[in-house]
Amino acid sequence: FITAKTAKNLPPGPPKLPIIGNIHLLDKIAPHRNLRNLARKYGPIMHLQLGQVSTIVISTPRLAHEIMKTQDLNFADRPTTTTSQIFFYKASNIAWARYGNYWRQIKKICTLELLSVKKTRSFFYIREEELTHVFKYLDSCARTPIIMRDPIQEMVNNVVSRATLGDICKDRQFILDSTYAMLKSFNSFNLFNYYPRLNFLNVVTGKKGEWMKIHKEVDVILERILEEHRSRARGSQDHEDLVDVLLRVQATGDLDMPITDDNIKAIILEMLTAGTSSSSMTIEWAITEMMRNPKVMKKAQAEVRAVVKGKRVTEADIQNLNYTKLVIKETLRLHGVPILVPRENQEDCVVGGYDIPAKTRILVNAWACATDPDSWEHPDSFIPERFENSLTGYLGADFEFIPFGGGRRICPGMNFGMGTVEYVVANLLLHYDWKLPGGVKPDDIDMREITGISTLPIHPLKIVPVPLSRSN
């Protein structure tokens, strides 16, 4: 049994200060950038001591392949965090569940029942309806600058929450607001992440008390939502929402382990969190990149307008939007989730010639892999054409491009997320021309990021919608 202290051959890393180790080197605004800079100095597999947490940072496709493919089984666990214990009912959601039978079972239910291609299709009508509201808003602001983030986030939140909770759930807005408060609270820099074994921090920072309070409020609403779903008489024409599916599986499924109400509440919260910010962030970056690259915008608009014959983009149209799909791919390369959900290895092992003691926290810097100069030409430029005739897909087979992660822990919401992203982007290209406010040039757009609930442009994009006629 080796530990970070006794291991002889840990990966290299920056010098450590007493008690804090390397915490002072972490950048809160854009951690993926500062970790890439450190990796260039200390190596693609790097050891950081973050308070009490021994951490390995992986920064190249070759090493990501080693972690998420060759040794995926050993690295398929997640670390225990205070916030996942409190908010996600003892980490019983998919993303934070320990690797094992329980996780395997709920991930399977989600992949087969909740987020399958067929189920995702059945929610198409929700996307259509919600888009009508976005159009209304954009038309009412025609030719005046708007902040693009607002209508996009609202639409994506509505799509995900309607698919999860149903069309008529009274508590929908309330739970969305509370979930947002919850995410904001635990995304702010918190020492618990780095000193999990120092219980006195509870008292010193007051954070744990604040989290418990938010959790209790959220729990009351989730209880109500379960009760409402259980007591509802359902007709055969009703759309089965994701809570209905979970309750059905709980009652009648052939399960190795029964799922409790707490487990279901954890999964509902997961849908509302994992399912929303990643999709709206992708849409916002795609539009931002196209505003900065007017030639790309023109080409994508021309494609959408040539392919779509009706008033609305259909699913069949989307299959033919080859260039627009490349634009979204390139957006995910540069602006996907930059650092994957942390992993933890169950057993001592060797990676890249270095010892990794069991229970080390592993951070895969997916953004560093996606901008690795040995894998990509002009890695920091936005060039959708680079994916033309390329076989690189979303399934995590090529580790220079892992916007949905890879291996056993790959994102199960890919179909659902991409369904929303492609549909919204295509419609925005079809029905509007977009201009920058007076005097602003494409190169003036600030592409710096800020990491909060997700990684977004530091200043939300302001643009002017010019509606085209929708009478055809």
Contacting residues toward ligand HEM, per CB under 6 A: 94-95, 107, 115, 270-271, 274-275, 278-279, 282, 336-337, 340-341, 403-406, 409-413, 416-418, 421
CB of 105 to ligand HEM, least distance (A): 12
CB of 270 to ligand HEM, least distance (A): 5
Q: Which is nearer to ligand HEM, 164 or 436 (CB)?
A: 164
Q: Which is nearer to ligand HEM, 367 or 432 (CB)?
A: 367
Q: Which is nearer to ligand HEM, 341 or 383 (CB)?
A: 341
- Taken in order 397, 398, 403, 407, is the CA torsion positive or negative? positive
Q: Which is nearer to ligand HEM, 50 or 272 (CB)?
A: 272
CB of 393 to ligand HEM, least distance (A): 14
Token pair, residue 48, equals 């950081």
Q: Which is nearer to ligand HEM, 51 or 406 (CB)?
A: 406
Of 35, 76, 79, nearest to 59 by C-alpha is 35
Look at phi and psi of residue 188 and say left if phi exceeds 0, alpha if psi is from -120 to 50, else beta: beta
Task: List phi, psi (to 5°) of 450.
Answer: -135, 135
Q: Which is nearer to ligand HEM, 202 or 346 (CB)?
A: 346
The answer to whether the CB of 276 falls within 8 A of the CB of 156 is yes
CB of 200 to ligand HEM, least distance (A): 31
DSSP 17: B
CB of 419 to ligand HEM, least distance (A): 9
Q: Please, what is the angle between helix 261-274 and helix 242-252, to 10°?
A: 150
Please give the C-alpha separations between residue 331 and each of 212, 320, 368, 370, 374, in angstroms, as whole numbers: 37, 19, 15, 11, 20
CB of 271 to ligand HEM, least distance (A): 5
Q: Which is nearer to ligand HEM, 111 or 250 (CB)?
A: 111
CB of 126 to ligand HEM, least distance (A): 13
Strand ranges in 314-413 using DSSP code E only, listed in sequence order: 343-344, 349-351, 354-356, 361-364
Task: List phi, psi (to 5°) of 282.
Answer: -65, -40
Q: Which is nearer to ligand HEM, 53 or 110 (CB)?
A: 110
* The one-letter amino acid at 239: H
Neighbours of 302 (CB within 10 A): 12
CB of 280 to ligand HEM, least distance (A): 9
Token pair, residue 165, equals 């909770």
CA–CA–CA angle 106, 81, 280 (5° rounding): 65
Name the residue with tokens 């040039």. Answer: 441
Buried b (16+ CB within 10 A) or exposed e, 163-197: bbbbeebebbeebbebbbebbebbeeebbbbbbbe
Token pair, residue 459, equals 């200043």
Q: Which is nearer to ligand HEM, 98 or 462 (CB)?
A: 98
CB of 421 to ligand HEM, least distance (A): 5
